[in-house]
A and B are shown apart, each in its own frame.
Chain A
């Protein structure tokens, strides 16, 4: 629904970087891997949190 605050595996705070990652890699046309390197999200456990995430607020909000 919303990006998890922390990485499930290591506990690093990944939510912090979501807005920039979304703007540059999802809506922009930069390479997601390079953006994550740039943001300092190094470990693959934290990287999968960002790469595999989908925002669902827009999907569920009509059913309130």
Chain B
């Protein structure tokens, strides 16, 4: 593949969600990136819980499952797959134990959301536990997925073919995603309520996919930020390709 094939443009960008237009991808490679974002970028997640006391209304296993789903911030550079971090929780009722009450032994790894209710405790009830979080990939268990609802659509080019016939009825034309106009302007369909007849009243328009241009919708659970997720996903593909190359060369 020659250089400068790719072109990347952020359409929307937040710390936890983004829409990115990438040009110069083959459909297979686009799907490879999507799958890598879901299954191959490792995040921390609670894997083993040691209950010292649990007099709450939930069983140990139910609480353990809830703890496993709490997203933990993951600075991937500092850790390797299989590394463990210990967290502790000690809350007595009356009150609610929140994910923010988890105390981590490693300041870099802590709950990404502090407001998730884990268990409501009544007077006299108490939960005390110690949990081991482990770094692993979404392939191993869905709780390790960094990307949430990652997907892509083709970029669509809208061309004005001419005026609508004098007696033709104006029909709504629903389209979702991101369009490219004839002047090369990139417009998300939310801008005109997903209705092309709103943007081009009285015009006859045609819509076609732009080859090799994909609009990715990327969201994370807070464990890594969006840009890092994309870069890491591409990194895992590169790692596997490198591995294959060395194996074949030998």
Contacts and interface: CB of A to CB of B under 8 A. Distances in A.
B113 interface: yes
B117 A18 contact: yes
Contacts of B71: 13
B58 interface: yes
B118 A2 contact: yes
A62 to B, nearest CB: 9
A63 B149 CA distance: 40
- Residue among B62, B71, B142, B149 with the highest chain A CB neighbour number at 10 A: B149
Interface in A3-34: 3, 5-6, 10-13, 15-19
Nearest to A1: B58
Contacts of A48: none
Contacts of B66: 2, 5
A32 B57 CA distance: 28
Interface of B: 55, 57-58, 62, 66, 69-71, 99, 112-113, 115-120, 122, 125, 142, 145, 148-149, 219, 221-222
29 contacts: A2-B58, A2-B66, A2-B117, A2-B118, A5-B66, A6-B69, A10-B149, A11-B148, A12-B149, A12-B219, A12-B221, A13-B70, A13-B113, A13-B221, A15-B99, A15-B113, A15-B115, A15-B116, A17-B115, A18-B116, A18-B117, A19-B115, A57-B119, A57-B120, A57-B122, A61-B57, A61-B122, A64-B57, A64-B125
